[in-house]
């Protein structure tokens, strides 16, 4: 591990750009065993997408005191604080204390259950580490991304990814690792957008409320290892039906757990439920497709490549669906040319 700052630190600004894509959890992360270190109470398994992205440029400026953060052309105080906390982890490693200018863009709706924090913090850690000349392995980047947003640990990697909950108090065993490359089993994902508004209760608060008040919390934790085993085996065997069954189960179980919190967390719109029914009807008709939904109203339908047009058409036609995006499975975080993002 290299904690040394780059040799040209004093020469001027340190600048890098990166892209990362959202990931969709098939076996869900919900709940923390350590809030300060952001360690999960359960492991999770996800797929990283390709055509939806966050692109982020980070420019550290010696002498600058504060970070300046622009997300999709706007400045948001709460988001800026999270970005600064994340950059602080990198500054500590590099032994520098100066501020950065951060410009970030998503090509999909932000904070509406489309994993924008996953791609956002994965891109930020990747770009920030490169700007500071930190030679971090992907696992080390993933550990830092996890500190900023749990699901970001998985977006450092491409394809099918498992993030272990780990048992150690310092979290060094709670790392994400790739399970299978994207092109080894190139499934497709249709995303039905049912609302473009930011969600009312973010994941962090939702998890806190659930752990404190949901009567199903211990059942959730106790049954997760078995779900992970089934999903991991299904992925390694490319067994679509087994992956469909366990993914829908994990999704509905997570939402049932969260709905039973007080006050209950209800992330779905009517159109989300309509899309679930439509996906199940398609599957009964023999189309290999299943759904999953994160902490927001968008429905993600995962299918074999030959079914994607049919799945999109059926979701597009559902009342309340505003748009249907479509993605394949993609790579992990990577470097981009600097200077291409509008501020
Ligand atoms: C429902 O990673 O956004 O999407 O660690 O508090 O930032 P924080 O939470 P976040 O939670 C994602 C929850 C989920 C399930 C998942 O992605 O596994």
**Between 213 and 72, residue with greater pLDDT:** 213
Reply yes or no on whether the pLDDT at 143 is more than 50.
Answer: yes
> Is residue 48 lining ligand 1, measured as CB closer than 6 Å?
no
Give the pLDDT of residue 199. 77
Report the CATH number that the domain containing residue 272 is assigned in CATH. 3.30.70.890
**Which residues span the domain enclosing 72?**
14-185
Q: Are residues 116 and 262 in the same domain?
A: no
**pLDDT band with cut points at 50, 70 and 90 for residue 10:** very low
pLDDT mean across residues, the chain: 93
Q: Whose CA is nearest to atom 6 of ligand 1?
A: 204
Reply yes or no on whether the pLDDT at 116 is more than 80.
Answer: no
Q: Are residues 150 and 298 in the same domain?
A: no
> Is residue 295 lining ligand 1, measured as CB closer than 6 Å?
yes
Domain boundary pick from 185, 216, 237 = 185
| Residue 342: inside a domain | no
> Is residue 58 lining ligand 1, measured as CB closer than 6 Å?
no
| Residue 313: inside a domain | yes
Q: Whose CA is nearest to atom 14 of ligand 1?
A: 294
Q: Are residues 23 and 100 in the same domain?
A: yes
Domain boundary pick from 185, 207, 240 = 185
Give the pLDDT of residue 30. 98
Q: What is the mean pLDDT of residues 20-48?
A: 97
Give the pLDDT of residue 245. 98
Q: Are residues 151 and 246 in the same domain?
A: no
- Is the pTM higher than 0.75? yes
| Residue 100: inside a domain | yes
Measured from the Cα of 117, ligand 1's closest atom is 3
Write out pLDDT tens, residues 126-141: 999 999 999 999 999 9
Q: What is the mean pLDDT of residues 201-223?
A: 96
Spatial CA neighbour of 292 closest among 204, 333, 231:
231
> Is residue 150 lining ligand 1, measured as CB closer than 6 Å?
yes
The total number of structural domains in the chain stands at: 2
Judge whether 20 and 145 are in contact, CB under 8 Å: no
Q: Are residues 157 and 175 in the same domain?
A: yes
> Is residue 257 lining ligand 1, measured as CB closer than 6 Å?
no
Neighbour tally for 84: CB within 10 Å: 16
By most ligand atoms within 8 Å of CB, the mutation choice from 34, 151, 206 for ligand 1 is: 151
| Residue 335: inside a domain | no
Angle at 99 between CA 97 and CA 103, to 5 degrees: 145
Reply yes or no on whether the pLDDT at 264 is more than 60.
Answer: yes
In the reported structure, the alpha carbon of residue 14 is separated from the centroid of ligand 1 by a whole-number distance in angstroms of 30
**pLDDT band with cut points at 50, 70 and 90 for residue 6:** very low
Reply yes or no on whether the pLDDT at 343 is more than 80.
Answer: no
> Is residue 119 lining ligand 1, measured as CB closer than 6 Å?
no
Measured from the Cα of 118, ligand 1's closest atom is 2
Judge whether 100 and 67 are in contact, CB under 8 Å: yes
In the reported structure, the alpha carbon of residue 156 is separated from the centroid of ligand 1 by a whole-number distance in angstroms of 15
Report the CATH number that the domain containing residue 143 is assigned in CATH. 3.30.230.10
Domain boundary pick from 166, 185, 204 = 185
Say which residues have a Cβ less than 8 Å from residue 203's Cβ, sequence separation at least 6.
30, 117, 150, 151, 294, 295
| Residue 90: inside a domain | yes
CA–CA dist 159, 182 (Å, integer): 4
Rg (CA), the chain: 20
Give the pLDDT of residue 196. 83
| Residue 71: inside a domain | yes
Write out pLDDT tens, residues 57-96: 999 999 999 999 999 889 989 899 999 999 999 999 999 9
């Amino acid at each position: 591990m290299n904690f040394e700052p780059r040799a040209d630190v004093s020469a001027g600004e340190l600048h890098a750009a990166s892209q990362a894509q959202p990931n969709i959890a098939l076996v869900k992360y919900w709940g923390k065993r350590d809030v300060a270190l952001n360690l999960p109470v359960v492991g999770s398994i996800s797929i990283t997408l390709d055509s939806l992205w966050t692109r982020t440029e980070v420019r550290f400026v010696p002498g600058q005191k504060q970070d300046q953060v622009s997300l999709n052309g706007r400045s948001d105080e709460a988001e800026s604080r999270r970005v600064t906390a994340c950059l602080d982890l990198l500054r500590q490693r590099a032994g520098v204390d100066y501020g950065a200018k951060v410009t970030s863009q998503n090509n999909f709706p932000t904070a509406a259950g489309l994993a924008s924090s996953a791609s956002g913090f994965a891109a930020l850690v990747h770009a920030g580490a490169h700007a500071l000349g930190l030679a971090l392995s992907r696992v080390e980047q993933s550990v830092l991304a996890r500190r900023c947003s749990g699901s970001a640990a998985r977006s450092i990697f491409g394809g099918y990814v498992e993030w272990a909950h780990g048992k150690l108090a310092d979290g060094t065993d709670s790392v994400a690792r790739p399970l299978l490359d994207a092109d080894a089993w190139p499934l497709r994902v249709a995303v039905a957008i049912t609302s473009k508004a930011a969600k009312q209760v973010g994941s962090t608060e939702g998890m806190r409320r659930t752990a404190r008040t949901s009567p199903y919390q211990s059942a959730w934790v106790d049954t997760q290892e078995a779900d992970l085993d089934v999903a991991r085996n299904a992925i390694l065997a490319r067994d679509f039906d087994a992956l469909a069954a366990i993914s829908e189960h994990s999704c509905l179980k997570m939402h049932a757990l969260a709905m039973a919190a007080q006050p209950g967390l209800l992330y779905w719109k009517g159109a989300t439920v309509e899309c679930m029914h439509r996906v199940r009807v398609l599957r009964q008709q023999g189309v290999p497709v299943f759904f999953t939904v994160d902490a927001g109203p968008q429905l993600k339908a995962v299918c074999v490549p030959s079914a994607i047009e049919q799945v999109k058409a059926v979701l597009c036609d559902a009342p309340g669906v505003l748009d249907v995006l479509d993605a394949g499975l993609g790579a992990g975080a990577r470097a981009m040319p600097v200077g291409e993002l509008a501020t």
